[in-house]
Structure 1
Amino acid sequence: MGTEKSLDLRKDIEDINEIPGIHELLNVISSSSNMRFVAVARVTKERWITGVSKDDIDFGLRPGDELDVGSTICNEIRQHHIPVIIEDVDSNAIFCNHHTPQQYGFKSYISYPIFLKDGSFFGTLCAIDPKPAKINNDRIKNMFKLYTDLISFHLEAIHKLNHANRKIKKQQEIAELRETFVAVLGHDLRNPIGTTRMCADMLLSAKIPDAAKKQAEIIKSTSYRMQSLIDNLLDFAKGNLGDGISLHLKSDNIELEKELHEVIAESKILNDNRLIETNINLSHDVDCDINRIAQLLSNLLTNALKHSESKEPVEVEISSENSEFSLAVINYGETILEKHQENLFKPYFKSKAKSNENGLGLGLYIASEIAKAHHGDLYVESNEGKTCFSFHMPLKSNIESAEAL
């Protein structure tokens, strides 16, 4: 407990020194009152600590230096909360024989209490001088009252700022732990999902009744959906943890086209053999992460199939020409409102009209991060019932690996 109190008091001293213009304030008090030592002190029942000082009499107190609290008049002010003003110790009936001026050798003294907003006593704004001074007047008293209120105001503002910063830091720590948990959980789920899909494949290759085969197909398609969700979740967690989306660039159009066709075939199977009209023309080499481009297409197709009329085809246009690789997915259905379009690539975004839909709301966000990692752009256009998501990137990248910002 003692250590905690020491740390709190040390922080109070730091807070005093963070007050804007505090040194200029002490200079003004000194020149206005002719008191050559002025200080803000943190005062408790056990301790008197210098917060900040202006010392033109070599009194020798710097921030953090202490006096025996029992030897100070500030300790008495802490108890009765009343300012003390002494123009000349020798002619003052109350303080002429007081131990404090005798111990510290001053003739004039003024000290005003500093209260925080909650009414608690914080310390004092005090000044001393080895010579008598004319300080018991309205001008000096109003000045000290004004400046103690000003110091209190700034201390309260600093306390609130520090509290807000601690709260933000705590929230950031919790968020990081949550993202770490999500990443670990997603990684651990991959193996059982892979096993589930393998078992479904074994059932489909075996001689089983049609009804059982139908169930196996459902299990397989569900496992693919779960795998897609987990991949998006892992990518999102990695991005929030600062790992970004890493790329393994490769120029192999044959493999790229094969992966893209597989994504389209899987999307058809998972969506009751929906019609997907495809046009792929890779006439120039594409330098990309093939798996990531396939993931981008998968996410765009998932979105298009979910939000289009089931009787309408989904169109896929992919080409590499004019120094650019482009990939577009077009669907027909409800037009996306312009006010929603700017939020589509944000994580977890769902329009209010679609708030009950399945999914995490990460697919388009991950697609946009993959686009950024390839130094490309992902766009959306939606009008008159036609929506097109298009990805464009330069054919040749000067970076062998990159991370999403």
Structure 2
Amino acid sequence: MHQDAPDFSAAIAAVQKIESVPLILEMVKQATGMRFAAVARVTDRHWVTCAVDDSIDFGLIPGSHLELETTICHEIRQNRKPVIFTQASSHPLFSVHHTPQLYGLESYVSIPIVTADGQFFGTLCAIDPAPASFDESTVLKTMGLYAQLIAMNLDLHKDLLASGQALEDAHEVGVLREQFVAVLAHDLRTPLSAVRLSAELLETRVNEPNNLKLIRAVRQSAVRMGVLIEDVLDFARGELGGGIPIKPVVTDTLQEQFEAVLTELRVVHPCAVILDTLSIPTGLNCDPGRLGQLLVNLVDNAITHGAKGEPVVVHIHTVGQSLVLSVHNRGVAIPEAVQPGLFHPFKRPEVGSRKDGLGLGLYIANEICAGHRGTLEVTSNDAHGTEFVATLPC
């Protein structure tokens, strides 16, 4: 193990944020019959583990280092070609290669991970001290696809971080905001749409349950990243002036649209319990798309910060000439001192919360209410839980 290494925490975190990586590693093990699979960051001096699925107690965890020259990945980085063998001891080249001898390996596959800008990130690899039996051509194609999916997600993560930093800089100095919106709309939406459409296409063509599980995880990751991008885009529009655009229409189908949103939320959050009571008349004057976004943001917030196992309760009805939408969750109360700042951008409750998202959901929800000439209020205490109530003249 190498002790004097630079900080690879950003690379490790980027891989760990890809929700489909654990499934990819599981599928690599199933496809090859090997019992160890990993994603490694490989530079000109260092080899470091970013994600691991280990059934042989090889001893590596995320953040572990190997001496670069002892690995085959060192050679893969130089020539950018995959390496595969099922039995090193009988292989004409790898029977005398130092890496299988040093680590006691018989079977091995390693695929380069190359990002869109041509940078070599590292490898997707599988190893085993026992010989393996598989069709090398099929495994190379399958793992090549997985490596491409990882690379695409790394590109999206990098672009999102860069755009977030650009947005903060623009917010501080008050310049380049229009350029940021254009870059965000094109440079992030376009590759993300390609990932989502590819996953949806594969979902219609694949029948094997484990592969379907992986493909659905990729699609759900793309959906989640799409929500983050739209949140940042809405924030940028609001900061440019005029607030978030609202396009009211008279609608007779708002209840059906809310029901569709709740159905999608249950798909995206299969472990959450979402209870709802809807009683919405026809003929309301509002922006149905934005109200759907309002509901998504409030329910996402409740799931993220609420107590696990406790239901999120949604009530939507009319009182007089107003539509009232409330979302309630149990959990640790939001301190009163924190509540006034909840609707500011990049703010998140600190108590009992995970650091998911960008802290824009409640800000955008409040802007949607303001665009409808309405209000968004919060009450939170240990006895009652937390409830957000939107009151919208319609």
Partner residue, 2:221? 222
Give the Å deviation of 1:203: 1.9
Return the alpha-carbon distance in structure 2 between the equivalents of residues 262 and 292 of structure 1.
Answer: 14
Partner residue, 1:293? 291
Partner residue, 1:186? 184
Return the alpha-carbon distance in structure 2 between the equivalents of residues 202 and 212 of structure 1.
Answer: 13
Partner residue, 1:197? 196
Residue from 348, 365, 368 that aligns with 1:367: 365
Return the alpha-carbon distance in structure 1 between the equivalents of residues 334 and 211 of structure 2.
Answer: 40
Give the Å deviation of 1:207: 3.0
Give the Å deviation of 1:265: 1.5
CA contact (8 A) 1:332 1:387 kept: yes
Partner residue, 2:338? 340
Q: Which amino acid in structure 2 is aligned with residue 214 of structure 1? A: K
Moved more, 294-303 or 178-187: 178-187
Residue from 260, 264, 271 that aligns with 1:262: 260
1:234 aligns with 2:238: no
Partner residue, 1:392? 391
Moved more, 173-182 or 328-337: 173-182
Structure 2 unaligned blocks of 5 or more:
1-168
Q: Which amino acid in structure 2 is aligned with residue 384 of structure 1? A: D
DSSP 3-state at the match of 2:341: coil
Q: Which amino acid in structure 2 is aligned with residue 213 of structure 1? A: L
Q: 1:89-139: per-residue Cα shift (whole Å, max 9, x none)?
A: xxxxxxxxxxxxxxxxxxxxxxxxxxxxxxxxxxxxxxxxxxxxxxxxxxx
1:132-143 alignment, distance < 5 Å = none
1:241-320 alignment, distance < 5 Å = 241-254=240-253, 256-320=254-318
DSSP 3-state at the match of 1:357: coil
Return the alpha-carbon distance in structure 1 between the equivalents of residues 356 and 227 of structure 2.
Answer: 13
DSSP 3-state at the match of 1:347: coil
Return the alpha-carbon distance in structure 1 between the equivalents of residues 184 and 208 of structure 2.
Answer: 34
CA contact (8 A) 1:308 1:331 kept: yes
DSSP 3-state at the match of 2:358: coil
Q: 1:169-190: per-residue Cα shift (whole Å, max 9, x none)?
A: xx98963335334312320112
DSSP 3-state at the match of 2:327: strand
1:358 aligns with 2:356: yes
Q: How many aligned positions are there?
A: 224
CA contact (8 A) 2:170 2:176 kept: no
Return the alpha-carbon distance in structure 2 between the equivalents of residues 304 and 173 of structure 1.
Answer: 28
CA contact (8 A) 2:251 2:282 kept: no
Q: 1:148-168: per-residue Cα shift (whole Å, max 9, x none)?
A: xxxxxxxxxxxxxxxxxxxxx
Return the alpha-carbon distance in structure 2 between the equivalents of residues 281 and 304 of structure 1.
Answer: 21
Q: 1:19-51: per-residue Cα shift (whole Å, max 9, x none)?
A: xxxxxxxxxxxxxxxxxxxxxxxxxxxxxxxxx
DSSP 3-state at the match of 1:338: coil
Partner residue, 1:331? 329
DSSP 3-state at the match of 2:174: helix
CA contact (8 A) 1:286 1:320 kept: no
Partner residue, 1:322? 320
Which structure has the greater CA radius of gyration? 1
Give the Å deviation of 1:313: 0.9
CA contact (8 A) 1:324 1:394 kept: yes
Moved more, 370-379 or 191-200: 191-200
Give the Å deviation of 1:202: 1.7
1:381 aligns with 2:365: no
Return the alpha-carbon distance in structure 1 between the equivalents of residues 341 and 195 of structure 2.
Answer: 35
Structure 1 unaligned blocks of 5 or more:
1-170, 396-405
Give the Å deviation of 1:354: 6.4
1:19-58 alignment, distance < 5 Å = none
DSSP 3-state at the match of 1:334: coil
Partner residue, 1:400? none
Return the alpha-carbon distance in structure 2 between the equivalents of residues 173 and 287 of structure 1.
Answer: 33
Return the alpha-carbon distance in structure 2 between the equivalents of residues 257 and 299 of structure 1.
Answer: 17
Residue from 177, 184, 195 that aligns with 2:175: 177
Give the Å deviation of 1:271: 1.5
TM superposition score normalised by structure 1: 0.52
| CA RMSD, 1 decimal | 2.1
Return the alpha-carbon distance in structure 2 between the equivalents of residues 320 and 360 of structure 1.
Answer: 32
Give the Å deviation of 1:253: 2.7
CA contact (8 A) 1:275 1:314 kept: yes
DSSP 3-state at the match of 1:177: coil
Q: 1:63-112: per-residue Cα shift (whole Å, max 9, x none)?
A: xxxxxxxxxxxxxxxxxxxxxxxxxxxxxxxxxxxxxxxxxxxxxxxxxx
Give aligned-pair identity as a percent: 32
TM superposition score normalised by structure 2: 0.54
Return the alpha-carbon distance in structure 2 between the equivalents of residues 352 and 283 of structure 1.
Answer: 38
Q: Which amino acid in structure 2 is aligned with residue 376 of structure 1? A: G
CA contact (8 A) 1:285 1:320 kept: no
